Amino acid sequence: MILEMESLEKSVAQVNDQIHWVDELTSQKEQDYRNVKEQHAKDIAKLTKNARKSKAKRSSHAMVGAGYADDSYMNPPSVPGVSSVRDSQ
């Protein structure tokens, strides 16, 4: 009976050690997950910011190429013999 109790106590101690090991491993994996998730969010924010900058640069270059960057479209060229709305005011 005593040998059986010792054997059971040994088994219980092994199971408790396994439970402790699994708890530590789970805790470590959860921390790893949080770190990876946080880094992913930072990476996405950085990519989004760079995409916005790139789009803004492309947009401003397109407007310069089209002649819109200097507001010259607000003052159409004068044509001899044709009065503009601005001239009549």
- Chain center to CA of 55: 16
pLDDT tens digits, residue range 11-26?
999 999 999 999 999 9
Q: In terms of pTM, does the model score above 0.85?
A: no
The Cα 42–Cα 22 span in angstroms is 30
Look at the block and give the residue holding tokens 């040994």.
10
**Residue 82: which pLDDT band, with cuts at 50, 70 and 90?**
low
